[in-house]
Amino acid sequence: MRTTVGIIGAGPAGLLLARLLHNAGIDSVVLESRDRAYVEQRQRAGILEQGTVDVLRAAGAGERMDRRGLRHDGIELRFDRRRHRVDFPRLTRGRSVMVYAQTEVCKDLIALQLKEGGPLLFEAEALAVEGAESDRPAVRFRHGGREDVLECDYVVGCDGFWGVARKAVPAGLSRVFERTYPFGWLGILADVAPSHDELVYARHDRGFALLSMRSPSVSRLYLQVPADTDAETWSDEEIWDELERRLETDDDWTLRRGPITQKSVTPMRSYVHEPMRHGRLFLAGDAAHIVPPTGAKGLNLAVGDVVTFARALTHRQETGSTELLDAYSATCLRRVWQAERFSYDMTTMLHRHPEATPFEERLQLARLDRIASCRAAETDLAEGYTGFPIG
């Protein structure tokens, strides 16, 4: 098999890249190790930044998102039983975010790719990237019980944190910057209308809680738990009781309970691999970087990377210049580090670190109080949340 761009992974990064390249008249092949149903049902992100929404619309993938997605103009911060709303459009000259699940983004992009785009092979596992430093890189993969080779002009590793693409960068050239956290998120999906019409981020002495939603009838909620927690050790009643405690306020707000349909624990990690390019291999999305989910940045960073790659390759095809491809890693990393900083700040401000001193706990409250009382601090949060510019 031969193509211009070999894409490993059909998560949001790989699928959107295939769509952007198709729209630019550049052919690609997508290899995905899982089956279609698994990819379409894997529960993950749910917040699309303004820039991501604009990209999906411009790519012709925004029709269902605009019908079903929920535009959100703010979030609520809860601490010390107080409530503070951050109004995005007021602070960012009209920007907002969209609540639209990653599963739905993937479904939309898969449907478009299968209808109009190049080959998208499910249950096709990439085994290795070969010849990244040559003009003819290739992906060795297994599909239908057979090993095959996909020859390409470029390979883009969109295969997530556990993929194979990153391993093709020689160890001597890789630099890894990493932080793990001693806590994770116990996340639930529940068949009940959300108890608030915007996301609520709560800092509580017992730990962080997040109230979020997938639709007007489905709630998504999270609790900070120790990193090694088994989700099944929490009964449904214990989860609702704990959410109620951590989200408590001084007014008459109440938490609606309903049947829990899914439960899982997500670890928290900050990770950046530099560089994001080696020869003709480019890394995009979680294959190159991970953020803790507190800032809702992971999917949005993946979108920024593939937009940058598609622009750079289009520029190369139109002008013959490799200038933008050569700048790919530096261009992406600038935005990646801003998102890493934002996600780290949100995480450390809102979570209870098991070794935090009373002094550090007071500092957390002071940071929240500053946001609630100072427009500059609040604007900084609103700008970070609605998204840093791409490119």
Ligand X SMILES: Cc1cc2nc3c(=O)[nH]c(=O)nc-3n(C[C@H](O)[C@H](O)[C@H](O)COP(=O)(O)OP(=O)(O)OC[C@H]3O[C@@H](n4cnc5c(N)ncnc54)[C@H](O)[C@@H]3O)c2cc1C
Closest CB to ligand X among 80 and 166? Answer: 166
Please, which residues have CB within 8 angstroms of residue 78's CB and are 6 or more apart in sequence? Answer: 84, 200, 201, 202, 203, 204, 247, 249
What is the closest distance, in whole angstroms, from the C-beta atom of residue 127 to ligand X in the complex?
7
Q: Give the CA angle between residues 24, 128, 32 to the nearest 5°.
A: 55
Is the CB of 72 or the CB of 204 nearer to ligand X?
72
297 a catalytic residue: yes
Minimal distance, residue 314 CB to ligand X, in Å: 20
Catalytic residue selected from 201, 273, 289, 328: 201
Distance between CA atoms of 268 and 346, rounded to whole angstroms? 13
Active site residue 167: no
* Active-site hit among 100, 293, 328, 351: 293
Choose between 90 and 140: whose C-beta lies nearer to ligand X: 140
State how far the Cα of 107 lies from the Cα of 75, in Å rounded to an integer.
Answer: 27
Q: Which residue is catalytic, options 12, 22, 72, 222?
A: 72
Kindly state the smallest distance separating residue 291's Cβ from ligand X, in Å. Answer: 7
User: Is 385 noted as a catalytic residue in this protein?
Assistant: yes
Annotated catalytic residue, options 204, 278, 289, 297: 297
Burial of 365 (0-12, 13-18, 19+ CB in 10 A): middle
Query: In the bound complex, what is the minimum distance in angstroms from residue 293's beta carbon to ligand X?
Result: 4
Footprint on this chain of ligand X (rule: CB under 6 A): 8-14, 31-34, 39, 44-47, 102, 125-126, 158-160, 163-164, 187, 266, 285-286, 293, 296-300, 302
The encoded tokens of residue 5 equal: 């761009």
Enumerate residues 6+ apart whose C-beta is below 8 A from 17.
5, 7, 28, 156, 158, 284, 306, 309, 310
Could you tell me where the DSSP H helices lie in 190-293? Answer: 236-246
Residue among 265 and 325 whose Cβ is closer to ligand X: 265
The radius of gyration of the chain's CA atoms, rounded to the nearest angstrom, is 21
Cβ closest to ligand X, residue 123 vs residue 244: 123
Question: Nearest distance from residue 23's CB to ligand X, in Å?
Answer: 18
Q: What values do phi and psi take at 116, rounded to 5? A: -120, -20
Residues involved in catalysis: 72, 201, 293, 297, 385
